[in-house]
Structure 1
Amino acid sequence: MLVITGRASRRARLAAEAGRFALLVGRTVPFYRYVSVEGEVVSVTTATEEEVREVGSRCLPTEEAVAGHVEQVLADPGAAVAIRVRPRRRLSADLGASG
């Protein structure tokens, strides 16, 4: 798993100190759904353009939006880090209307 965040962020500091990382993504509308991932931190390094693009392309709707995101994140060289995590535990739930 790859996460991009600010070098000075609490998230980056705690991940580096603890050597562990957990991420939860959820939504409640229209139905409750979530996925969580926990694991050990493999590395915390300065984010590269390729890593920022990889993460941005998963979340943003167009290549134009991805390009703008990459430009914004890399405007301050060294300000973003890439946290690589080896997932050890995954949980998910989908309480949507299925019948």
Structure 2
Amino acid sequence: MNLAMSNDERESFLAETRVGVLGVVDSRGERAPLLVPVWYGYQPGGDVVVETARASVKAKLVLAAGRFSICVQDESPPYRYVSVEGPVVDVQDPIDPAARAALAHRYLDSTTAADYLAANKYQLTEDVLFRMRPQRWRTADFAAFAKEFS
């Protein structure tokens, strides 16, 4: 049974508002890759964007590796996930305020996003934005598999 999503399915799934788990090689010695939950942006056919503090371990490791992966999932049955990895193709530092606002509005309602941006306006100036070009995809949609047991 093929569980892989089509190109359109995987891109639509990744474009939905979900928390992603960013993965990056940890070059600080004998450690597993760093995995951290993040807000991200994506439009089908485009790049994955992630904002993080420029002084964070995550930002330093992404800059050193020059690439990262992100995995998003649907935790309700039938389970689905998309994992994508690729090179960093742009680093925005400082971040365009419109890009920062777009991420906030992706995850928060209009009023809460405006309040979040206002309350964190100084802290958010410490952030950078990474743009990753999707190169390798891994996907699974267990809907067909689940139908066999219903």
TM-score range, shorter chain: 0.7 to 0.9
TM-score by length of 1: 0.79
Q: What is the 5 A alignment of 1:9-88?
A: 9-44=56-91, 45-60=93-108, 62-76=109-123, 78-88=125-135
Cα distance change of structure 1 residues 26 and 63 upon mapping to structure 2, 3 Å threshold: same
Q: Distance in 2 between matches of 1:30 and 1:75?
A: 41
1:92 aligns with 2:131: no
Cα distance change of structure 1 residues 94 and 5 upon mapping to structure 2, 3 Å threshold: same
Counterpart AA for 1:10:
V
Counterpart AA for 1:38:
E
Task: With a CA cutoff of 8 Å and minimum separation of 6, indicate the structure with the bigger relative contact order.
Answer: 1
Q: Distance in 2 between matches of 1:9 and 1:72?
A: 20
Measure how far apart 1:5 and its partner are: 1.0
Cα distance change of structure 1 residues 3 and 71 upon mapping to structure 2, 3 Å threshold: same
Q: Which has the larger Rg?
A: 2
Measure how far apart 1:77 and its partner are: 5.5
Unpaired stretches in structure 2, ≥5 consecutive residues: 1-47
Q: Distance in 1 between matches of 2:130 and 2:57?
A: 13
Paired residue total: 98
Cα distance change of structure 1 residues 36 and 71 upon mapping to structure 2, 3 Å threshold: farther
8 Å contact from structure 1 (residues 47, 82) kept in 2: yes
